[in-house]
Structure formats: C-alpha cells, structure tokens
Amino acid sequence: MENEIIVGLDIGTTKIACFVGMRGESGKVKILGFGKTESKGVEHGVVKSVTETADSIRRAVSEAADQADVDIDEVYVGIAGQHIKSRPSHGSVMIPPDHRLIEQEDVDRLITEQYNTLLEPGEEIIHIFPQQYIVDREPLSREIYPVGVVGKTLEANFHMVTANVQNLQYIKYAVQDAGLKIKDVVLEPVASAKAVLDDSDRDAGVAMVDIGGGTTDIAIFHDGIIRHTSVLPLAGNAITNDIREGCNILKRQAESLKVKFGSCLVQAVSENDVISIPGIRSQAPREIYVKTLAGIINARTKMILEQVDYEIKLSGFDKKLIAGVTLTGGGAQLKNIKELCELITTTDTRIGIPNEHLEPDSVSFADLAHPMYATGIGLVLYGLEQAESNHEEEPEEEATPADNARVDIFADMNVEPSEDPTPASQVVPEKPAKKEKTKKKGNFENTISGFFKKVFDEGIDD
C-alpha cells in the first residue's frame, strides 16, 4: 500500500467537509485537498432531505478533488445524531474439544454472536467494542489476548453502539446521489478521537467531547479501550438560536456575535461593553451589552456541559480520567469554555486541535488546525489505519465470521434513490454465516472496518 489516498466525508449539521489525505513521510496525515460547504438538509446530525444533502456533498467533494487533483469515488463517512445509542452486552461460547488452545475463530464466533442480540425495532449495530475477555470465569488482564490461552469457555463484556436503520439508509442515499460509494461508516466521536487524542490519553483515561452544530458527541477511553459513547441533541446551534431569540436579531448576526464577542463566563466580560447591530433596512441599529450576550451563552453552554458531566458519571469512569476532558468541534472555539467545563466537571480540560497529527505541508495547514475539523481529519486517519492493516493481511485469507456477521445492515438498501425507503420495521436481520478458517489476531476496529468494506462493495454498488 504505497501512497494510498483516503477520503473522509464529515456530514455535519452546519457544514459538510471533505478531506483528501495520505500518509506523509513523518507518519502523520498529509491533507492533499479540502472542501467545505454549508450543510443543507441535515438536522441534529440526521439527513432529512436527501436531495439537498447530496448537493452539498457534491460541492464539497468537487472542491476537495480539484485541489488534490484526484478523482474521488468512495469515502469514509462519519455518523452521529440523536438516534445513536449505546448499551453493554455480554456473551460466551464453548471452546470445541478439538481446540487444544483458544483460537482466533473462537474469538470471532463470540463477537459474531453479539450481532444476534435482540434490539429495539429499527435499530442496527454499527460498532461493538470488546471490554474484557474471560476464560473459564477468570478475567484476563488487558495485556493478554485470549488466543493461545487454555480454556473450555470464552466470555467477554462488550460496549455496543446502535443506529437507526432508516437514518443509515438516508446517509447512503445522499452519498449515492452525489455519485459516491461508502467505503466505511464510522461513529463520529471515534473519528474525532483519532485526530485529537494519542495513546497516552487513551491509556490514562480521557473524555473526548465533540461539540458540533447539532449534536455533542462523547467518547470515554480508559486503559486504551473505548468504554462509553453518547450523543446529546444539544450543541452550537442551540446557543445561536438562544442568542437570536434573546436579542431579537437575525440568525447570521447571532452566529457572528457568538464567535466574535461571546464568552461562556459572565464574570470575564466588562459591564459596560456594548455591541452595535445594524438594523434591517431603515431600522435604527440595535445595541446589545456584551454581558447580556455572555449570560445567554453561559446558560445554554452550562446546560450542555452538565449533561456531559452526567454522561461521564454514568460511565463509571469519572474518577479514572487522569487525562481529564478534551473538548473539540466547532463549539470548542467559544471563549472561556475550557474554564467553564473545569468548573462543572471538576476535571482538567484542554482544547483538542488536530494539528499534532497533520503534516506541516498539508494544504491550508493553518486553517485545518482547528477543532471543527477534528472529525474530518480523524476519518482520514481512521481510513489510513484500516487500509494499512488490510494491506498487512495475507491475500489468501478469507473473511472472518465477524466480517460476514452484519451483511444485513444495508441489505435492504439496494433500491434506487428515487424509491421510497424500506420502513425500519420491515428490515429483517440475516443470520451470520459461519467460517471455519481462522484468522490471525488483529485490532477489532479492523475487523469491523473489513466488514463495512465488504458490505458497501457488495450492497451499495447498485
């Protein structure tokens, strides 16, 4: 895999951004092309208008392709939205008598069986993250992988992430209408974490909080493993709307005030500072006290961070986050949000910027070194890791059971975009096929990525 080019597509509530990148000489990601456009047809991270979203995707991808001087036909897509849910899961399998030691196919079989978990109607599993393996009722330490261990039973605790099937379909339709294929679907906080965290953060324990336009995405890591994920339906747009209604001004004026003069702490601004807002047509200019603006921003941001704090406590890792909280996303640019987060969570906080993973000679390096681009750059990093991992695999290897376990996720999506989508209630999961051939030990994210590549290669190319 020499100079493989990866394309990440961030379909956000306020923007749609496309990133074309490759692995640079230093090992960091080199962005070759970048395109951004206003997001239309998306609300709270969910595609509502396929046509409008496809048009926005087309413009962003075209801009990135022209800058990178490449043809783009497949992309890694981030997924978020309030329909994303997570839950714990537990599974166990018996080790066949002819297996002297636990083999990779036993681990794959254990993971595969989790896709048969009974879910609410219209839900589909998009990620399963193993938490801890247990052999003959004895938990294994993090350093020991079960393959090669002697045992009669293999168990594991999992963190399962699900999405609404219909919303997955709408993403597929929008990307397909834009003339593209989906290489893989990635939970957005997982992608953002690739861009703003390193191994030491994940090992020490960190809460990555991505405050976007429509949603706030949370991913909690500890001992190098993702332990908890959550998507909150409140983010930057809610703050802008509060300013708009509270000050009785236009939305674009409210957004400008938030970015240029806003503060999350009322005590950090002057009592007498005033902002003059031009009136509409013949109306007189409107004057707004900066302290009033800060009060509005503080109220909504405090509400968002209190929900973040609740999710951190809900995870059970609130006392184990040595690396504290990392804020990223467009909302992380708010003045004094770091200090407000520390007051609410009583945890050290920093702003996560993806520049540490960017090659300095990337296009528009200074512009891309911004929290709002964490997801897009993270998608490129994710794709590079999957491509490099797949390249290392032996060519004669067959797909693992986990690869085939979820071919149902887009099984009913082979209709033309003009047709009505299949109701979520009619989506019937298929039973996974079993494989007898074993596979060498690998990162579980690679297994999931391999599955998605197979699904989209076979199921979306209609």
Q: Please list the alpha-helical segments (H only) found in 248-352.
A: 251-261, 290-315, 337-345
**Where along the chain do its domains lie?**
85-167+393-459, 199-352
Q: Residue 282 phi/psi, 5° resolution?
A: -95, 5
Options 3.90.1150.10, 3.30.420.40, 3.40.50.2000, 3.40.50.300; CATH of 199-352? 3.30.420.40
What is the pLDDT at residue 434? 40
Residue 93 structure tokens: 């399998």
- Over residues 115-144, the mean pLDDT reads 90
For residue 393, what pLDDT band results from cuts at 50, 70 and 90? low
What is the pLDDT at residue 406? 43
What is the pLDDT at residue 278? 85
What is the pLDDT at residue 42? 92
For residue 425, what pLDDT band results from cuts at 50, 70 and 90? very low
Residue 348 structure tokens: 């050290």
User: Can you tell me the distance from the alpha carbon of 236 to that of 213, in angstroms, rounded to the nearest whole number?
Assistant: 5
User: Can you tell me the distance from the alpha carbon of 75 to that of 80, in angstroms, rounded to the nearest whole number?
Assistant: 16
- C-alpha closest to that of 404 among 450, 460, 457, 462: 450
What is the pLDDT at residue 17? 95
Mean of per-residue pLDDT scores for the chain: 85
85-167+393-459 — its CATH code?
A: 3.30.1490.110
Left if phi > 0, otherwise alpha if psi is -120 to 50, otherwise beta: which for 8? beta
pLDDT (tens digit per residue) in 153-180 = 999 999 999 999 999 999 999 999 999 9
What is the pLDDT at residue 316? 93
Residue 13 structure tokens: 């509530």
What is the pLDDT at residue 163? 92
Which pairing describes strands 274-277 and 286-289: parallel, antiparallel, or unpaired?
Answer: antiparallel
Which residue(s) pair with 158 in the sheet? 89, 130
pLDDT at 340 over 60: yes
Query: What strands lie across the sheet with 15-23, from one edge to the other?
Result: 29-38, 15-23, 6-11, 74-79, 181-187
Task: Give the contacts of 257 (CB within 8 A, at least 6 positions apart).
Answer: 243, 247, 249, 275, 277, 288, 293
- Over residues 318-346, the mean pLDDT reads 96
Would you say the CATH fold of 199-352 matches that of 85-167+393-459? no
Task: Name the CA dihedral angle for 461, 33, 447, 404, rounded to a multiple of 10 degrees.
Answer: 0
For 445, half-sphere exposure in the C-beta direction (CA atoms, 13 angstrom radius) is: 19
- Over residues 23-29, the mean pLDDT reads 89
pLDDT (tens digit per residue) in 175-211 = 999 999 999 899 999 999 999 999 999 999 999 999 9
pTM: 0.80
pLDDT at 216 over 60: yes
Helices 444-459 & 374-392 angle (0-180, nearest 10)? 90
pLDDT (tens digit per residue) in 260-277 = 999 999 999 988 899 988
What is the pLDDT at residue 283? 80
User: Can you tell me the distance from the alpha carbon of 447 to that of 200, in angstroms, rounded to the nearest whole number?
Assistant: 24
- Over residues 421-436, the mean pLDDT reads 43
